[in-house]
Amino acid sequence: MAIVDALLGEIEHEAENTRRLLEVVPADKLGWQPHEKSMTLGRLAGHIAEAPGWVRGMAHRDELDFDSPEMAAFAPYAAADKEDLLATFERQIEVCRQTLTGLSDEAMMGTWTARRGEKVLMQMPRLMAIKGMVLNHTIHHRGQLTVYLRLLDVPLPPIYGPTADAEGF
């Protein structure tokens, strides 16, 4: 099996878990935040929705410079409404699928670098960068989102197993 095929399988599995969670985000609470230093619910959910699309830049470039003009122009996505949130997630998952499909093992094991100007922040095989900066990053923020939702008394769907709100899946 090609590396990318295994990665796509993992992405699809996690996309279903993420989709279930984004579907219960309350549209009338997108501006809510649990603390002044925390993201709003709409920004956190939007961050999760936009993350799969980051694969495009990671797959076809060998580095990302956070000090570049491109990154200076980057505008973080915050969900304006629930329909837009879910549509954004579906678009970004499709971008991810299309970008990765057919990439060779050699490309997946090629070196990818994140930097801030001359300072190298990380350098690792592209596969590890995608798993860390897209998959693991999404899972981390998904965990934050479950806390936000619990604080808002939103029943949580099952992700890796039953929750106190959902017996099974």
Q: What domains are defined for the chain?
A: 3-151 (1.20.120.450)
Which residues have CB under 8 Å from 128's CB, separation 6+? none
**Nearest Cα to 137, choosing from 155, 120, 122, 152?**
122
pLDDT of residue 166: 79
Residue 163 tokens read as 């929750």
pLDDT digits (tens, 9 = 90+) for 35-74: 999 999 999 999 999 999 999 999 999 999 999 998 889 8
169 pLDDT more than 70: no
pTM of the model: 0.93
pLDDT of residue 168: 59
pLDDT digits (tens, 9 = 90+) for 113-124: 999 999 999 999
